[in-house]
A and B are shown apart, each in its own frame.
Chain A
Amino acid sequence: MSAAPKSRTPKPRARRAAEDHLDLVAELIEAFAGSEDLDATLAAALVRIAEALDADAAGLFLLDGDYGDPEAKLVCRACFGPIDVTGLELTATIGIPGRALQHNRTERVADTLRDPDFLAPATIGIDYDIRSMICAPLSHRDERYGVVEILNPQPEGRLFTARDAELLGLLATAAAIAIRNARLTAALLAQNRLRQELEMAAEVQRNLLPPTPEADAPVQGLNRPARGVSGDFYDVLRLADGRIAFALADVSGKGLNAALIMVKTATLFRSIGRRVHEPGLLLSRIEAELCETMAFGMFVTMVIGVYDPATHRVRLANAGHLPALKRNADGSFEEFPATDPPLGIQGRLENDRYRETAFSIEGGCLYLYTDGASEARDGDGVMIGADGIKALIQRHAGSPPGTRLTAIADALGDDVRDDLTLLVIEDSEAAAERVQPRGRRRGVADLVAQTIPAEAGQLKVVRRLVEAASREAGASVEWAQDLVLAVDEACQNIIRHGYGTAARAGAKLGEKIEFSIRRAPDGLEVELVDYAPKVAPEDCKGRALDDVKPGGLGTHLMHALTDLVQFRAPPKGAGNRLVLTKKLGLGRRDNKTDNDDKGSSDA
Chain B
Amino acid sequence: MSFRVKDEAGTSTVFLSGEIDLERSPAARKTLLDTLARKQALVVDLRDVSYIDSSGIASLVEAYQKARTSNLAFTLAEVGPPVMRVLSLARLDRVFPIRVGG
- Which residues on A are within 8 Å of B, measured CB to CB? 456-457, 459-460, 463, 478, 481-482, 484-485, 488-489, 492, 495-496, 545-546, 548-551, 553-554, 556-557, 560-561, 593, 596, 600, 602-603
Contacts and interface: CB of A to CB of B under 8 A. Distances in A.
A565 to B, nearest CB: 15
A546 B51 CA distance: 23
Interface stretch (B9-17, B30-38, B39-47, B84-92): B84-92
27 contacts: A456-B23, A459-B23, A460-B23, A463-B51, A488-B53, A489-B53, A489-B54, A492-B22, A545-B90, A546-B91, A548-B95, A549-B61, A550-B54, A550-B57, A550-B58, A550-B59, A553-B57, A554-B55, A556-B89, A557-B54, A557-B86, A561-B89, A593-B88, A600-B91, A602-B91, A602-B94, A603-B94
Contacts of A496: 22
Interface of B: 19, 21-23, 51, 53-55, 57-59, 61-62, 82, 85-86, 88-92, 94-95
A554 B54 contact: yes
Nearest to B18: A460
Given A548-B61, A602-B94, A459 B22 contact: yes
Instruction: Give 7 nearest A-B pairs by CB, closest first.
Output: A550-B58, A456-B23, A456-B22, A554-B54, A553-B54, A545-B91, A603-B95
A459 B54 CA distance: 13
Contact of A554 (B19, B53, B91): B53
Nearest to A556: B90
A557 B90 contact: yes
Nearest to B85: A481
Contacts of B59: 550
A202 B88 CA distance: 70
A492 B55 contact: yes
A257 B17 CA distance: 82
A581 to B, nearest CB: 18
Given A488-B53, A492-B22, A492-B55, A550 B89 contact: no
Contacts of A561: 89
A588 B85 CA distance: 14
Contacts of B82: 481
Given A484-B51, A488-B21, A548-B92, 7 more contacts: A463-B19, A548-B61, A548-B95, A550-B57, A557-B53, A557-B54, A561-B89
Nearest to B50: A481
